[in-house]
Amino acid sequence: MSAEDKDSNKPFIHEPLYDVAVVGGGLVGAVAALCFDRFGGDGFKVALFEAGLLDASYQTDQPGEGKVLYSGRAYALSEGSRAILDVLGLWQEMAKFAQPIEEIEVTDSQLESPFRPVFLSFSGEIEHGRVGAYIIEHERLAAPIYRALRAKTEIAVFENSPITDLQRDAQSVELSFKGGEKLRSRLCIGADGRGSSVRSLSEIKVHRSDYDQDGIVVTVALSQPHHGKAVQHFLPSGPFAILPLPGDRASLVWTEKRGLAAEMCALSDEEFISQVNARFSPKLGTVELAGPRAHFPLSLLLAYSFIDKRVALIGDAAHGVHPLAGQGMNIGLRDVAALVEIVVETRRLGLDIGSEVVLERYQQWRRFDGVMSAFAMDGMNRLFASEVPLVREVRDFGLRLVDRLPPLKEFFVREAAGLNGDVPLLMQGKKL
């Protein structure tokens, strides 16, 4: 924008007409912008808006490169999500920091039980030598993604630019930002998280339910090798997940009642770690702190519709799920893969990428999965929180039954890998 334009009171309209405007530069929006840029075809114009700074969530101790400052957050990354990152040429840099999950144990044994029996155990492999998921720290995942975005001069990136208004006509959607600037696009993609402005400006209603739980996340160093084993221990206050990281460390996602989570995080290091060790599987030895701790409020959020006129919602803007299965971002990346596939196909046919037909196709592909995932995790969280003896017996029987049914176990591992159902091409590792 020229100084003259900035000084005038007239709204500044960015030209020309963009093809997609992605609102929200979290991991899901950032990957969406990269996929559209890569597969959109000649002249396909992508804009990305972020309310803050793009890579604010991954920091180094110096501008540019430098030592990474860890937040303590890590993700279970499904094979399908890994495939998208691989197609984008980003996985190679991440791979050495990602821990393959070789084995998964599920239990709801009582902490006071001396044996802590395991009710269900899986191999983490979807086929021989190929695992279904990895654990990777936020910074190791985010750094290559944001570096690639910054290198892509073709993508118009607007930082410190929250979207404040959307106006639609028959051909385009006009986005307002920075108190007067405007940009027009054929399609607006709301990737702006749980508090999505795109969703509220489109008057899409949501179903919300608060869990009165927080997820405490922290990285710990283990006294014994983990051999790639992930443990999900369902406790009455919520699941306690031990997710293996390279170098015999683990990321813990520890769900606690809201007030108690804040209290735990305020404890001294020694008191905190003794609380962790009290919950930790004795078979895995003991732990020491290896990073900062943080806690996040947990809730269920589901948009009644994933689309509106010239608008599609992806990621947490469309569905916010309980983290007990580590699927929130993976489901968001599946939205990305499906939407990019539909848009690219439509553009190659020379048709309008923001039309109702395109949006309906996206909604049909993704909404059922989003709803099922949200309610499945909600149901599991409630079921495992119950201390009623009959409920405990029935669910332990269920776990033991699944343990004896290899085809069902295989189904669950493929589900966690993001490889069941109508899998978008990018998630199969195929280019568009």
Helix, strand, or coil (residue 426):
helix
Position of minimal CB gap to ligand FAD: 26
CB of 349 to ligand FAD, least distance (A): 29
Residue ranges with strand state E in 28-137? 46-49, 59-60, 68-69, 74-78, 99-100, 103-107, 120-123, 125-127, 130-131, 133-137
- Please work out the total of residues on this chain that contact ligand FAD, with binding judged by CB under 6 A: 32
Binding flag, residue 80, ligand FAD (CB under 6 A): no
Q: Provide the 10 A C-beta neighbour count for residue 270.
A: 8
Write the interaction track for ligand FAD spanning residues 325-344; mark x where CB under 6 A is met and - where it is not: -xxxxx-x------------
DSSP conformation letters of 185-238: EEEEEE---TT-HHHHHTT--EEEEEEEEEEEEEEEEESS--TTEEEEEEETTE
Tell me the window of 12-20, 23-31, 146-154, 222-230 that interacts with ligand FAD (CB under 6 A): 23-31
Among 18, 22, 26, 85, binds ligand FAD (CB under 6 A): 26
By CB under 6 A, tell whether 315 contacts ligand FAD. Answer: yes
Residues 57-76 that bind ligand FAD (CB under 6 A): 75-76
Q: Does 155 bind ligand FAD (CB under 6 A)?
A: no
CB of 201 vs ligand FAD, minimal distance in Å? 9
Q: Are 117 and 155 in contact (CB under 8 A)?
A: no
Q: Is 280 helix (H, G, I), strand (E, B) or coil?
A: coil
Residues in Cβ contact with 63 at an 8 Å cutoff, skipping those fewer than 6 apart: none
Instruction: Report the distance separating Cα 319 and Cα 332, nearest Å.
Output: 8
Beta carbon nearer to ligand FAD, 19 or 316? 316
Interface with ligand FAD, residue 24, by CB under 6 A: yes
Q: How far apart are CA 372 and CA 361, in angstroms?
A: 18
CA dihedral 21, 25, 26, 31 (to 10 degrees): 60
Which residues within the stretch 190-219 sit at the binding site for ligand FAD (CB under 6 A)? 191-193, 197, 215, 217
- By CB under 6 A, tell whether 27 contacts ligand FAD: yes
- 421 binds ligand FAD, rule: CB under 6 A: no
Nearer to ligand FAD, 141 or 359 (CB): 141
Among 186-194, 281-289, 345-353, 417-425, the segment contacting ligand FAD (CB under 6 A): 186-194
Backbone angles phi, psi at 297, to 5 degrees: -65, 140
| Site membership for ligand FAD, residue 51 (CB under 6 A) | yes
Closest to ligand FAD by CB, 40 or 328:
328
Of 137, 135, 172, 145, which is closest to residue 50 (Cα–Cα)?
Answer: 145
First to last CA, the chain: 35
Task: Please identify, using beta-carbon distances, which residue of 264 and 329 lies nearer to ligand FAD.
Answer: 329
**Per-residue binder mask for ligand FAD (CB under 6 A), 232-261, x = binder:** ---------------------x--------
225 strand-pairing partners = none
**Residues of this chain that bind ligand FAD (CB under 6 A):** 23-29, 49-52, 75-76, 162-163, 191-193, 197, 215, 217, 253, 296, 315-316, 323, 326-330, 332
